[in-house]
Amino acid sequence: MRHLEKQKDDFIGIVSHELKNPLTSIKAFSQLLENYLDQNKDEKGTFYLSKMAVQIERLTELMASFTDVYQIQNGKLALKKKSFKLDELIANTVVDFHYATKSHTIEHSVPNDLIVFADKERISSVLVNLISNAIKYSPMSKKVLVSATVDDDQVTITVQDFGFGISKVERIRIFERFFRVRSKKEKNIPGLGLGLYISHEIITQHKGKIWVDSIEGQGSTFNVQLPRSKKEKVL
Ligand code: ADP
């Protein structure tokens, strides 16, 4: 079993590495093509290219997930920590979703000047994962709430949706690699079951905690707790 798992991880690592160059090249040429079509006022071409760009972005995200999994499995998920304003990161992420998502409104409530010492890129990817899941798994509702609170020892970020919710049995396995809930509701929603696994690893590496509270049929709240060091408290 362990041997097979290792083979699977190595395969993921090799594939993501080998696909990186062609993907970068496709991206670069599509940007050149975009300029070219723009100059020639080719509206139909620009429209088709915009469709391609969405899929290229999706492929890029998939490759990034594979690379993360490979790094985690090989104990190489290095963090690049620095001080940054978490309130600004959350606000910017919410604005990005606002432009990209028509189905939901995302409300956020975060104290100002909330400085944390963490890997900004990685915390950003955790936020994006939790908000996109909140949207993906609540097609029947319109609202997602993002908030952050702070006390002496920690910062807590929550992402709440009013969607499918997650049963008790599934909640135990939700952060496992490749785990996906397989009921009728989720069947047509795309995903690999890697996002929460990667998020869990990132938060654990920060010596933080991630967990979910949920009532089936009513929604889920994902919580992320990051410890505050002495350094941040004086900032
Ligand atoms: P993916 O969304 O690509 O399947 P994730 O690791 O992000 O992978 O999530 C794992 C599984 O957890 C999902 O397939 C889904 O079944 C469940 N899940 C995650 N977030 C939510 C949520 N907000 N509400 C309900 N189910 C969720």
3-state secondary structure of 216: coil
Q: Which atom of ligand 1 is nearest to the CA of 192?
A: 3
- Whether the CB-CB separation of 115 and 83 falls below 8 Å is answered with yes
So what's the pLDDT on residue 100? 87
Give the integer Cα–Cα distance in Å for 81 and 231: 13
DSSP3 helix / strand / coil % (the chain, rounded to 5): 50, 20, 30
Structure-token pair, residue 183: 């009921």
The protein residue with its alpha carbon nearest to ligand 1, atom 2, reads: 191
User: pLDDT truncated to tens, each residue of the chain (235 aa)?
Assistant: 889 888 888 888 888 888 889 999 999 999 999 999 999 999 999 999 999 998 999 899 889 898 898 889 888 888 999 999 999 999 999 999 999 899 999 999 999 999 999 999 999 999 999 999 999 999 999 999 999 999 988 999 999 999 999 999 999 999 999 899 988 888 889 888 999 999 999 999 999 999 999 999 999 999 999 998 766 655 5
So what's the pLDDT on residue 169? 94
So what's the pLDDT on residue 234? 54
Q: Which atom of ligand 1 is nearest to the CA of 191?
A: 3
The CB density around residue 109, as the number of other CB atoms within 10 Å, is 12
Give the integer Cα–Cα distance in Å for 164 and 178: 19
Side-chain half-sphere of 30: how many Cα atoms within 13 Å?
18
N residues, the chain:
235
Which residue from 76, 204, 207, 87 is spatially nearest to 150, judged by alpha carbons? 87
Give the integer Cα–Cα distance in Å for 42 and 35: 10
Q: Is 39 exposed, middle or buried (0-12, 13-18, 19+ CB in 10 A)?
A: exposed
Q: Ligand 1 centre from 133 Cα, in Å?
A: 6
Structure-token pair, residue 161: 């949706």
Q: Ligand 1 centre from 36 Cα, in Å?
A: 40
Q: What is the DSSP letter of 2?
A: H
So what's the pLDDT on residue 184? 80
72, 128, 174, 210, best to mutate for ligand 1 pocket (most atoms within 8 Å of CB): 174
The protein residue with its alpha carbon nearest to ligand 1, atom 14, reads: 180
So what's the pLDDT on residue 8? 82
Give the integer Cα–Cα distance in Å for 77 and 233: 26
- Whether the CB-CB separation of 177 and 138 falls below 8 Å is answered with no
So what's the pLDDT on residue 44? 96
Q: Ligand 1 centre from 58 Cα, in Å?
A: 17
So what's the pLDDT on residue 227? 93
- Whether the CB-CB separation of 79 and 119 falls below 8 Å is answered with yes
Q: Ligand 1 centre from 41 Cα, in Å?
A: 42
So what's the pLDDT on residue 76? 82
Residues within 6 Å of ligand 1 by CB = 129, 133-134, 137, 161, 163-164, 166, 174, 179-181, 186, 191-197, 220
Structure-token pair, residue 10: 């190595």
Side-chain half-sphere of 46: how many Cα atoms within 13 Å?
10
- Output the CA torsion sign for 159, 165, 170, 171: positive
So what's the pLDDT on residue 232? 64
Q: Ligand 1 centre from 84 Cα, in Å?
A: 28
